[in-house]
């Protein structure tokens, strides 16, 4: 959107994901490695995004307010008040980003007054020493904050109070990615409970945890009245089953006091279904052989 704002200021016409016209120049942003070979990007002249961390916007474009007209149905502003996250998690792409700076920024650098909603794209808002300035700007402008992930490990009474004071469009979001963070997570959960914050928790599965640890994390979150949501790191069948079991509350709601038992029943049901499908397939094959 900032590139679009700059090009339009030069008198250029800009289109998004339009394959009908012929273009003088095409930009492509690539998030995941497997998309680098995607044929859709074969005509691009310049690449950016996490897969090309060395390519960042020049300062004169970075400081521009985004061109929100590029997304016709967009009803909120979006941008960064703070770029870095210093966690350096092994599984996360954020550590590869070449941020233009590590400074705090005002929402007014990217917020358009025509919107009543705002989306913070910060990688870790609570790591910003001036995080409260951001919230105070949002409160003063009477804005609604779009769904935004926050670091439960940094939650304290002041931050919990700020969250409750803020109008949110959608759920609160936190994450529990690693077992080794359990004590920090539990500390944050206590503050969330004290301030009556119920959230959806992303639970990374298939990275460095086993099923028992994944179920344990889900059980703890359910005990604190949060909704776990499995984020698979691999395509392993067991992780896929875990995703299907947890991400559909109807599967585990009746077992919320003992999520491990619900998981056992779910897996047994999956096994029976596979046996029935195989028996049906075998019967159909035998029937066709008769003719």
Domain range list for the chain = 1-58, 59-290
Please report how many Cα atoms fall inside a 13 Å half-sphere around the Cα of residue 159, on the Cβ side: 19
Topology of domain 59-290, CATH: pyruvate-formate lyase- activating enzyme (3.80.30)
pLDDT(130) > 50? yes
Query: Tokens 């994901």 correspond to what residue?
Result: 17
What 3-state class would DSSP assign to 128? Answer: coil
Q: Are 40 and 46 in contact (CB under 8 A)?
A: no
First to last CA, the chain: 64
Average pLDDT in the chain: 90
Q: What is the pLDDT of residue 220?
A: 98
pLDDT of residue 221: 97
Q: What is the pLDDT of residue 285?
A: 45
- Is pLDDT at 228 greater than 50 in this prediction? yes
Between CA 180 and CA 178 the distance in angstroms is 5
User: What's the pLDDT score for residue 84?
Assistant: 93
CA distance 92 to 19: 32
pLDDT, one tens digit per residue, over 44-76 is 999 998 889 889 899 999 999 999 999 988 999
| More confident position, 63 or 20 | 63
Contact 57, 44 (CB under 8 A): no
Q: Do 153 and 185 meet the contact criterion of CB atoms below 8 Å apart?
A: yes
The candidate with the shortest Cα–Cα distance to 111, out of 87, 84, 85, 145, is 145
Locate 161 and state its tokens: 């109070």
């Amino acid at each position: 959107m900032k590139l679009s704002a700059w090009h339009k200021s030069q008198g250029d016409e800009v289109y998004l994901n339009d394959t009908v016209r012929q273009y003088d120049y095409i930009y492509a942003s690539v998030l995941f490695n497997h998309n680098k070979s995607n044929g859709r990007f074969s005509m691009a002249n310049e690449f950016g995004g996490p897969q090309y961390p060395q390519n960042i916007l020049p300062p004169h474009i970075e400081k521009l307010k985004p061109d929100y007209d590029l997304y016709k149905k967009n009803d909120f502003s979006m941008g960064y008040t703070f770029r870095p996250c210093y966690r350096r998690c092994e599984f996360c792409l954020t550590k590869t980003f070449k941020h233009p700076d590590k400074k705090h920024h005002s929402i007014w650098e990217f917020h358009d007054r025509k919107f009543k909603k705002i989306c913070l794209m910060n990688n870790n808002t609570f790591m910003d020493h001036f995080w409260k300035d951001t919230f105070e700007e949002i409160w003063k402008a009477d804005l609604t904050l779009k769904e935004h992930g926050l670091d439960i490990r940094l939650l304290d009474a002041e931050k919990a109070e700020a969250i409750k004071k803020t109008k949110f469009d959608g759920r609160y979001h936190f994450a529990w990615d690693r077992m080794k963070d359990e004590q920090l997570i539990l500390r944050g959960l206590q503050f969330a409970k004290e301030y009556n914050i119920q959230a959806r928790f992303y639970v990374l599965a298939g990275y460095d945890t086993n099923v028992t640890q994944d179920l344990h994390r889900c059980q703890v979150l359910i005990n604190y009245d949060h909704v776990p949501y499995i984020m698979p790191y691999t395509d392993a069948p067991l992780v896929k089953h875990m995703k299907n079991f947890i991400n559909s509350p109807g599967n585990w709601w009746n077992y919320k006091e003992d999520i491990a038992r619900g998981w056992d029943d779910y897996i047994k049901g999956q096994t029976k279904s596979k046996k029935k499908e195989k028996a049906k397939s075998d019967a159909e094959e035998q029937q066709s052989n008769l003719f």
